[in-house]
Amino acid sequence: MSSRDHILSRIKAHKPEFIEEPVITLELFMDWKHVKTEFTMKVEIAGGQVFEATSNQNVTEQVSAMFPESKVNFSTLKGTDGFNTINLDAINKPHDLEDLDILILESGLGVAENGAVWIKDSQLPMRVLPFITKHLVVVLRKDAIVTFMHQAYRKLSCDQTDFGVFISGPSKTADIEQSLVIGAHGALSMSVFLV
């Protein structure tokens, strides 16, 4: 018998009697907090920052002002080509992106209860980008923020994403004596621009 069949047959023999799948009742959790305020607060708790912007152009302007020293920039926003200092098509190996200073991405989904934004393959020319960049900037429409993860997954259920990630704040660690240090392996900072 193959290991697969061996494991499956053991499970079949040992599993308990069927137990019904519980139903998730959203009403149990409704706390009627203000979605945008809550989202902003949670992004900040996660070590990120939230700004408002009027247009894509306005985002890149604000970002350039925030990081005047930056050299290598890339944005996926429409109409912001002037901001880009690199052409992704010219890069053969993602490893070459090591010097990326600023990455600006779009997200179509934010979650108020934890300040997470959803980034998926179709918004991501290369999977490693949001992790390898020094500073991550995400543009999110205000009306794309839901209250809880339950609603977020309802939205995602009709979405065929090959790779997607919820990101909440910059990368961090507290592995040395529980002292929080921002900037572990991923981005050193994260900013969300609400439009």
Work out whether 37 is an interface residue with another protein (CB under 8 A): no
Of residues 88 and 184, the one with the C-beta less far from another protein:
184
Work out whether 110 is an interface residue with another protein (CB under 8 A): no
Q: How many CB atoms lie within 10 A of CB 14?
A: 7
Of residues 14 and 78, the one with the C-beta less far from another protein:
14
Residue 157: C-alpha distances to residues 10, 108, 137, 162 (Å): 32, 14, 25, 13
Q: What's the min distance (Å) between Cβ of 146 and another protein?
A: 10
Of residues 78 and 95, the one with the C-beta less far from another protein:
95
Exactly one of 42, 135, 191, 192 binds another protein (CB under 8 A); which one?
Answer: 42
d(CA 24, CA 154) in angstroms, rounded, equals 12
Of residues 64 and 173, the one with the C-beta less far from another protein:
173
d(CA 144, CA 140) in angstroms, rounded, equals 7
Work out whether 21 is an interface residue with another protein (CB under 8 A): yes
Interface map 63-82 toward another protein (x if CB under 8 A): --------------------
Pair of tokens at residue 7: 């494991």
The β-bridge relationship of strands 135-140 and 172-173 is unpaired
Work out whether 134 is an interface residue with another protein (CB under 8 A): no
Of residues 3 and 78, the one with the C-beta less far from another protein:
3
Considering only the stretches 49-57, 59-67, 81-89, 170-178, report the one whose residues sit in contact with another protein under the rule CB under 8 A: 170-178
d(CA 105, CA 140) in angstroms, rounded, equals 9
The alpha carbon torsion through 168, 84, 61, 52 (nearest 10 deg) reads -30
